[in-house]
Structure 1
Amino acid sequence: MINSKNFALIGASGYIAPRHMKAIKDTSNNLVAAMDKYDGIGIMDSYFPEASFFTEYERFDRFVDKWHRDGNKKIEYIGITTPNYLHDSHIRFTLKSGAHAICEKPLVLNPHNIDQLKVIEKETGKKVYNILQLRLHESIIALKEKISKELEKNPNRVYDIDLTYLTSRGKWYFVSWKGDESKSGGIATNIGVHFFDMLSWIFGPIEENIVHLKQSDVNAGFMKLRNANVRWFLSVNYNYIPEKIKIIGKRTFRSITVDGDEFEFSDGFTDLHTKSYEDILSGGGFGLEEARNSIDIVSTIRKLHPIGLNGEYHPFCKKILG
């Protein structure tokens, strides 16, 4: 293929990996190799059946090293869709292998990891890109433009926002790495980081961070952004989903209200990974500094002690603490 670029993928069996495979294919590029400890990767037949596949990191490492030494062949990008706590290590491997990294969120678990990766970027001349696909969602871009215009007229305006996100998970969740805070970063990191990124992108950096509720299956709190007060509630427990949502058979509830008005963005998610790849390949993309705000937020949440039903807490907190 003319001008096609070569990719590799670390992590191929999870929920999000096929979106990366599709994005590579949709942008007319080639997947050379993939690595995953789990070997049930039949999904690859739909995208890149000729790609080399490894279940051992050491053999994948050897392949990548040998492959780019063979003539003029080169792996230019490596996608990373592994468990959160491994992102930092796999990004380092990618940069040192002479490739750019395209990593799922959360980019890393702690802000100091970003500082270290900036050093390695400088040493290698390669870049780290974070998949922050909500920034490419048409409805969210429109909201950002609307808020920006309003803030031009009134820079001191503060919006009131309620963020509610419940995505039901079964018992497997707590047995897997996602249920281990040392590996996933906990609920706020695992399912909240992209919402926190989106809100701080639109309403400015965080100024105050409070946690009201912190359990293995639910986190809730309050954050003051430069131009918004945000009450947030995140959970993987089906029991906390509103009855009207349960009645229609849904297991997920997502709501963002801005000054009491519901912000609707249920549609438009289908091709956001492809859009992310197109953005990166055309010279855009979101780098280390763009990821910092949301990593700061979730890292702080992890360290804070919950204060219960005090102050500006999300109404859903009463479902648990009331």
Structure 2
Amino acid sequence: MGKRHLLADVGGTHTRIGLTNAQGRLCPDSARRYRTADFSGLAAALAFYLRDLGCPSVAGVCAGVAGPVGADGAQLTNLDWFIAPDDLRAATGAAQVHLLNDLQAQAYALDDLDDAALVPVVPGRARPDGARLVLGVGTGCNVAVAHRIGDDLFVPPAESGHTGLPHGEAQINALVDHMSHTHPHKPIEAVLSGPGLLRLHHWLGGTASDIKAIIAQHRTGQDGTAAETMRVFARLVGTVAGDMCLHHMATGGLYLIGGVARAVAPHLASLGMQACFVAKGPYRQILQDIPITLIDDDTAALKGCARFLRQIPRATSH
């Protein structure tokens, strides 16, 4: 690729920014993390980053954004930011701007992650030719599916976090009904997210003010409500992830990513996630064969943006 490109991972809580090296991969020393709310928009954050690095020139920008992307730009779901390509060009001097959904960027990174960043949660037997599904649980929730096409990956956009919560046992159905009071369309991310974990805890009668406290109370056995919160959350992760893997026949593996996913992953297997994940009637064996892995790499989306940029010359040459 030669020329350097700006990479950005824009979340509701944090924004990560980095630069490609001469080989078109993320330069690890270039990665920075900022509080998203500290800036008026992505253009301001990128300009601040470039000034901090001594104003290097960049040929292009590729950003993964936590929200739907359209022809005119991208709107963050959980923050009042609209990202317009022309604003990014003006702020950075870049000629080219590419916007992806943030989970697309995460999935594009799958072939570029270090082995140490892949933490087994539940073992399985992945099919090498199978699609791989990334489930992001953080400030919000979404999925992306990576399909292999020759040497490249194809990752279509999705906004699955705003599809409906599943029906199930009486407790889950009561929770879904409760969520309809504040979230009429009863989206998955109303529960499967950081704010959602707190909502679940308070619905169960808990008083913790943040998810770290809930997880700590569960781990030490200090609070039965925290333990029940984690149990219900884990079972919902299993149910939703199993549904999504069947939707996309993700026989290549399920990957969990995001700050909340990293926090709860060590507890999921012992709390009944897998039983709900595989409870799909005649398709139980398909789900049992799917390995579940945690991605423990805070720069994964930046690596995915770099991968997307490296594929562009091959795509345009066809």
* TM-score interval, normalised by the smaller of the two chains: under 0.3
Q: Which protein has greater RCO, CA pairs closer than 8 Å, 6+ apart?
A: 2
Question: When the two structures are superposed, what TM-score results if normalisation uses the length of structure 2?
Answer: 0.27
